[in-house]
């Protein structure tokens, strides 16, 4: 029985996930490759447009972006990019004013004469006369240049062998073989008509025939492309000879460690030793709560001799308000929390408050450890008001969040609708792109216009996915009531005028109830005729379909986004859980298991597939417990390794054999400056309300004057503007202005000299010429140097560092002035600005 196209896609995706379980087909059951079957110019077999002709054109580069696959085509001849629109490509080849095929005289066909250079061809000579490529195209034209039949078999999956290549030395080669499985039971060796790519040509190359050559030590992937299938093969060349029995015994106390070391042992890479206690405390504090540990906290941790003190510290950090504030900011990055909300009108003056409410809503759920899928559900299925809530009750509720005294708690709302009200999400296509990025880690930009070059998604896939968001709109829909409320409160001027916006905000602050716009979704109609999909402007009826899955009748759901949420919760969903655990992992290790973390595609395989599968599967089994995920990662020996390399891992940055030194995130950088220079009392107040008082909190979603005093600094150090769907918005790249800021900006001077700062408190504690402080004790220079190092680098100074620091204090006009110079110097060290 022939599978429908949707079920074939599901089967295809499932089989990709379990490819290691597939067995290679017996040679007798496999159709030989086209090299053998079309060696002669004539024969009984008729080439297929889908199976042979279009893949060959892709292999030859005809339908690539630099040739006829470009938007404008070449020489008046245009093909679909990578050949996935069979009907359009067939029409382009056989039709038009100058057909590329000549059915009466096949040898005179342009698709033969141009690549043979019988006729001038900008693309050059693509094959030789009498070659199998020549014969394949000739026999297709001779047989009538037929299109793809409606009942033609569909591809079910690809099989590739070997699944992993481990080379022994540079220059060694290995041949890849690709088998296509079709719904009619046929199995065909399609290696000669596949396209191939190496993900890192400094380590391995692959030629047109699928021959892989080792060029350098390390690991990468080579990728095969055929029809709608994309399959990677991991390629490894050991870095050292420490393999097999020569590989040393390495502790693997957790499942993460087992899976990491299993990969490292194939490469002959030995992990570094564990980091020191001070390195661990600084690292985990910055990663988990975005905060430098306090000097007293460091002292206590060093004094603790219990074996489980690191695990207990992780649990304690997870209970702090700063954990919720910092990870709410990270989730705000993913969901695009911004004060650039729309549309125009009175609510424009509230956008800064709305961005803070957005952050507070997420913070509350992270603090309460609400399961990740429930948190996402509150965003995905958000509406402004429930169907049974009258408009007046809705406006009263919304107005209560913005009154000047005792505003209602927005974080208590069941859903958070602002995600869907951003200015850049005006169209269903924009919503589809944002949704795929935020919750699936998938980039669909390419598929919006053409076949994705590195994944299975076509333009049809994108269009069917975008249909889910038709009718999800934000605007004024209860117009009569809105008009009446405006008139009642004197809001009769142009809604986009400054006067209207200022009066709107003022009246809300006074506690008045004003009209608010609404986020609405289409509701199913009780009339069967009205519930059917409607044609678009081009007259097409597009049925919604989840990515790689089945078509969905959204009319059967109260909210058309509900089937998307149901699909993401399915245990076999290939994106939802993996995207989140991969992004969390990247936050701890500088690089994702799939990197970049927002580009989950078939041609970008994980560096450690078994590890990603374990984390995603266990995350689901733990009911999407975010704290479990943080504990699981930070408790691993892998996370706690030193950044000091050994001879085997000095070049490793993708297999987690050592800690990689990372620049602090922008918000953490600013807070580290503020914390290092603050008095103990000031630190305590910042610790109590990190979401509202610190850069790691709600300020990160704000733009312009809404962002407050730290706006310049956090933007300078790479805070993402959240204007596009890309993890690349957050920058960790150093630049000259950052150096100038740390060394010469007035803000650094202000932090060092502020009244509630550590240095000023020390000055206030000392006797002056005019007054004597009772029982004032002389300053302990060694203790001051120790505390300065604890405040900045979170470690004790070396003997040489202490000698230089003490000299700075003793040679200055007074010890506090010398201490200020020391603090300035420490804030300007590379060690301060990184996490190691």
Residue 16 is predicted with a pLDDT of 38
157-247 CATH: 2.60.40.1080
Distance CA(514)–CA(491), nearest Å, equals 10
pLDDT tens track for 380-436: 999 999 889 999 999 999 999 999 999 999 999 999 999 999 999 999 999 999 999
Provide the pLDDT for residue 74: 80
Q: What pLDDT does 20 receive? A: 36
Tell me whether strands 211-214 and 173-175 are parallel, antiparallel or unpaired. antiparallel
Task: Extract the tokens encoding 584.
Answer: 């969390």
**Per-residue model confidence (pLDDT) at position 526:** 52
Asked if residue 342 lies in contact with residue 497, where contact means CB atoms within 8 angstroms, the answer is no
Least confident of 200-204, 553-557, 606-610, 739-743: 553-557
The yes-or-no verdict on residue 524 having pLDDT over 70 is no
Amino acid 535: pLDDT:
52
pLDDT in tens, 66-119: 888 777 778 788 888 777 788 888 999 998 878 899 999 999 999 999 999 999
Looking at the predicted structure, is the pLDDT value of residue 250 above 80?
yes
Comparing 540 with 560, the larger pLDDT belongs to 560
Q: What is the mean pLDDT of residues 360-376?
A: 98
Q: What is the pLDDT of residues 457-504, one digit of tens each?
A: 888 899 999 999 999 999 888 899 999 999 999 999 998 899 999 999
**What is the pLDDT averaged over residues 335-351?**
87
| pLDDT tens figures, 565-624 | 999 999 999 999 999 999 999 999 999 999 999 999 999 999 999 999 999 999 999 999
Q: Has residue 537 got a pLDDT over 70?
A: no
DSSP letter string, 184-221: TS-EEE-GGG-EEEES-TTTEEE-TT-EEEE-SSEEEE
How is the chain split into domains, by residue range? 31-142, 157-247, 277-319+577-660, 324-569, 663-835
Tell me, what's the pLDDT at 70? 76
DSSP H helices in 447-534: 459-466, 479-488, 498-509
Rounded average pLDDT over 751-768:
90
Return the pLDDT at 96. 80
Are 336 and 416 within 8 A, CB to CB?
A: no
Give me the pLDDT at residue 539, please.
Answer: 47
pLDDT bin (cut points 50, 70, 90) of residue 703 is low
Q: What's the token pair of residue 35?
A: 């090299």
Q: What is the pLDDT of residues 317-332, one digit of tens each?
A: 999 999 999 999 999 9
pLDDT, mean of residues 333-345? 87
Range scoring the smallest mean pLDDT among 70-84, 260-274, 664-678: 70-84
Residues near 752 by beta carbon (within 8 Å), at least 6 away in sequence: 677, 759, 820, 823, 824
Q: Could you tell me which residue, 131 or 776, shows the higher pLDDT?
A: 131
Structure confidence at residue 147 as a pLDDT band (50, 70, 90) = very high
**Preceding omega of 681 cis (within 30 degrees of 0):** no
| Arithmetic mean of pLDDT, 13-23 | 37
């Amino acid at each position: 029985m022939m599978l429908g196209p949707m079920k074939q896609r599901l089967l295809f995706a499932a089989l990709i996930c379990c490819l290691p379980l597939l067995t290679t087909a017996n040679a007798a059951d496999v159709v030989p490759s086209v090299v053998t079957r079309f060696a002669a110019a004539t024969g009984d077999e008729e080439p297929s447009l889908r199976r042979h002709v279009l893949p060959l054109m892709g292999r030859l580069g005809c339908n690539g972006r630099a040739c006829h696959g470009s938007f404008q085509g070449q020489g008046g001849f245009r093909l679909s990019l990578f050949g996935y629109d069979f009907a359009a490509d067939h029409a382009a080849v056989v039709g038009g004013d100058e057909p590329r095929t000549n059915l009466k005289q096949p040898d005179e066909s342009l698709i033969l004469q141009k690549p043979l250079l019988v006729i001038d061809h900008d693309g050059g000579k693509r094959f030789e006369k009498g070659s199998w490529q020549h014969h394949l195209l000739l026999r297709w034209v001779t047989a009538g240049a037929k299109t793809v039949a409606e009942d033609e078999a569909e591809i079910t999956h690809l099989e590739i062998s070997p699944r992993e290549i481990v080379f022994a030395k540079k220059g060694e080669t290995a041949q890849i073989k690709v088998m296509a499985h079709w719904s009619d039971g046929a199995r065909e060796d399609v290696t000669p008509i596949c396209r191939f790519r190496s993900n890192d040509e400094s380590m391995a190359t692959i030629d047109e025939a699928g021959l892989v050559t080792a060029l350098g030590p390390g690991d990468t992937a080579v990728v095969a492309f055929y029809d709608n299938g994309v399959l990677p093969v991991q390629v490894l060349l050991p870095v050292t000879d420490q393999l097999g029995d020569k590989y040393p015994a390495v502790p693997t106390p957790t499942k993460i460690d087992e899976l990491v070391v299993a990969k490292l042992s194939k490469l002959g890479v030995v992990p570094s030793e564990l980091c020191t206690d001070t390195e661990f405390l600084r690292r985990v504090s910055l990663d988990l709560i975005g905060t430098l540990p306090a000097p007293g906290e460091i002292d206590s941790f060093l004094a603790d001799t219990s074996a489980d003190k690191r695990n207990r510290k992780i649990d304690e950090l997870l209970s702090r308000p700063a954990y919720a504030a910092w990870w709410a900011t990270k989730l705000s990055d993913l969901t695009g929390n911004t004060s650039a909300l729309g549309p125009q009108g009175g609510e424009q003056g509230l956008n800064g408050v709305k961005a803070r409410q957005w952050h507070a809503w997420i913070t509350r759920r992270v603090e309460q450890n609400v399961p990740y899928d429930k948190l996402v559900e509150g965003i995905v299925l958000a509406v402004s008001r429930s169907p049974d809530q009258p408009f007046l009750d809705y406006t009263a509720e919304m107005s209560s969040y913005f009154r000047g005294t005792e505003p209602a708690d927005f974080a208590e709302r069941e859903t958070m609708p602002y995600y869907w009200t951003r200015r850049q999400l005006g169209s269903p296509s924009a919503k589809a792109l944002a949704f795929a990025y935020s919750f699936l880690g998938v980039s669909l930009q390419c598929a919006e216009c053409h076949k994705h070059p590195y994944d299975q998604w076509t333009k049809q896939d994108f269009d069917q996915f975008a249909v889910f968001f038709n009718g999800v709109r934000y605007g004024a829909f209860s117009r009569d009531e809105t008009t009446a409320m405006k008139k009642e409160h004197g809001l009769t001027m142009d809604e986009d005028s400054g006067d209207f916006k200022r009066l709107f905000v003022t009246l809300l602050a006074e506690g008045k109830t004003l009209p608010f716009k609404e986020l609405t979704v289409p509701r199913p109609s009780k009339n069967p005729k009205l519930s059917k999909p409607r044609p678009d402007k081009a007259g097409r009826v597009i049925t919604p379909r989840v990515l790689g899955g089945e078509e969905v009748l959204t009319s059967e759901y109260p909210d058309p986004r509900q089937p998307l949420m149901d699909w993401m919760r399915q245990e076999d969903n290939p994106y939802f859980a993996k995207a989140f655990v991969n992004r969390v992992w990247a936050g701890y290790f500088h690089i994702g298991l799939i990197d970049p973390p927002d580009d989950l595609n078939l041609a970008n395989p994980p560096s450690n597939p078994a590890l990603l599968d374990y984390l995603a599967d266990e995350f689901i089994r733990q009911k999407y417990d975010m704290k479990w995920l943080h504990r699981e990662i930070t408790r691993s020996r892998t996370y706690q390794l030193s950044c000091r390399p050994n001879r085997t891992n000095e070049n490793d940055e993708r297999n987690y054999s050592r800690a990689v030194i990372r620049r602090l995130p922008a918000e953490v950088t600013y807070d580290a400056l503020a914390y290092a220079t603050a008095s103990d009392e000031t630190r305590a107040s910042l610790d109590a309300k990190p979401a509202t008082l610190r850069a790691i909190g709600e300020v990160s979603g704000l733009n312009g004057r809404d962002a407050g005093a730290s706006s310049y600094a956090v933007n300078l150090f790479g805070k993402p503007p959240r204007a596009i769907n890309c993890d690349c918005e957050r920058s960790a790249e150093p630049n000259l202005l950052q150096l100038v800021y740390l060394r010469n900006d007035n803000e650094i001077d202000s932090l060092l000299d502020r009244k509630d700062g550590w240095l000023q408190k020390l000055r206030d504690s000392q006797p002056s010429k005019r007054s004597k402080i009772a029982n004032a004790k002389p300053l302990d220079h060694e203790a001051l140097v120790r505390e300065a190092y604890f405040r900045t680098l979170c470690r004790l100074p070396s003997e040489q560092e202490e000698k230089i620091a003490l000299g700075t204090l003793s040679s200055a006009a007074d010890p506090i002035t010398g201490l200020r110079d020391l603090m300035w110097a420490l804030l300007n060290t590379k060690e301060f600005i990184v996490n190691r």
